[in-house]
Amino acid sequence: MTPVSSGVLRWRPAFITFAVAAALGIFALSQYGEPAASSADAVTGLSIRGLVLVAPVVSVAAAWQAAALFDAGWTHRVWQRGWFRIAWGRLWRLLVAAAAAWAVQYIVVASSFNLWFLPSPLVLVTYLATVAAAATTGFAVGWRLRAVIALPVLAAGWFFVLAFAPAVEPLWLRHLALLEDCCSADQVPNPRVVAAIVLMALFCVVVSWLGAAGMRRTWVRWTAAGVALLLPVTAVGLVQHLDWRSTAARTGDLVCVGEDPKVCVWPENAASATAEWRKAAPVLADISRRTGAHVPVVLTQSSDPDQVAGERAFGTLIQGTDNASVGAAASARLDDDCLERLDEVDEFEVDAAMSDVEEMLERNAALFEAHDLLVAWWVDQAGGAVETTADEPDAALASLKELDATAQGMWADRAARAVSACSAEDAADLLVRLPRASS
């Protein structure tokens, strides 16, 4: 056999794995929309969505190779060369194939939306760690079980783990398998989640080694078992106090341009900051002139604006054929602390009389209703199309528009203060004071 033909035979499983993984990965990407933001984290986060199909393919390919070696009588060579050395000699080409399949998916995402950034290392390392875990477990299972059993078990197992991780309870369990929904403009991958995924991948590698290698030395087995126990315990400790989000708030300096309002964006969007300001400033100035409503002092992509001081957050760039995005960006929002406070049910509320509980729920509902109405009013005043899925917001907006322009502006300012302060009582009072829409 010539060196060329020998090399082709060695690389053939990797070529097949690359072709299947790339095709399935692109198919998976077609089921999602555009990146959540114009950032390296968001583009890379979307490009790894195909992992739910790529990992089972890599695992099955590894099991197939292990089964072929087992059938060829390689079991006796474990004591001569070591199981891990044998596995690495077969798996590294599959890992290269999986990395190449990701590169194709990244190029597809970047070219489709014209968003070219250097890939995010934190996001990419979760993909590579998961692929390595899938390959190692696949090789171990293929080494121990017949292919007719190993292949469907591995394909179904890895697909189930990655596809249904977001639905797992308690919430922190999902962070052991997948970096989910990364990342909007004001978010970055949570380093705790990334570390937990890497630790669980190492756990899969160690357990595969323990299960397939059959190590002779007792101290080696006990050491490996101790490491295998320590890895998931550490991973759980990192994420057990996290909520459903696998991201953290982004920090750092923003690039700001203009005045009234000042527009502040993350550095990767600096080139479009001036265009953002030119689009927003005249629209907001017109609303202020007509209604007297206080327009934002700052529009920022930061996740923690000082809304009381007149800052407003807009996660994505202001864009579109109408001005709906400008109006939506100008409205006050319920921040995360407020939403968590509304979701909490303390002991007093649980033990309270049913009438008190119902009153509390009505007040909280009023705050959400006032928030939605405020956003709809700003969008309407900006000349954008108000998108609603129910009759109530349309009716409330019609009621608000029965007031004269100055009164509408005063209502919007009071609603902004209520929403910024998370005051359900003030929001309920504002809704009660609305006139009924004329029929």
Co-location of 282 and 262 in the same domain: yes
Co-location of 259 and 216 in the same domain: no
Give the domain extent around 280: 255-432
Co-location of 209 and 288 in the same domain: no
C-alpha of 431 from chain center: 35
Neighbouring C-alpha atoms within 13 Å toward the C-beta of 10:
12
The SS3 call for residue 268 is helix
Co-location of 163 and 241 in the same domain: yes
Co-location of 238 and 348 in the same domain: no
Which of 199, 224, 249 represents a domain boundary (last residue)?
Answer: 249
CB 374 within 8 A of CB 412: yes
Count of the separate structural domains present in the chain: 2
Co-location of 329 and 216 in the same domain: no
Residue 248, beta-bridge partner list: 188
Co-location of 283 and 234 in the same domain: no
Tens-digit pLDDT string for the chain (439 aa): 555 444 555 678 888 888 998 898 888 888 887 787 778 888 998 888 888 899 999 999 998 888 877 665 555 555 445 666 777 777 888 999 999 999 999 999 998 888 888 899 999 999 999 999 999 999 888 887 787 888 888 889 889 888 887 777 787 888 888 887 788 777 888 899 999 999 999 998 888 877 766 655 665 666 777 777 888 888 888 888 888 788 888 887 888 888 878 888 888 777 777 777 878 888 888 888 888 888 888 888 877 787 777 788 775 554 444 577 777 778 888 877 777 777 664 444 444 444 555 666 666 787 888 888 888 888 888 876 555 544 455 677 888 888 888 888 888 888 888 888 888 788 777 777 777 644 3
pTM of structure: 0.76
Co-location of 334 and 219 in the same domain: no
Co-location of 233 and 310 in the same domain: no
Residue 313, beta-bridge partner list: 300
Co-location of 379 and 324 in the same domain: yes
3-state helix, strand, coil in the chain (%, to 5): 70, 5, 25
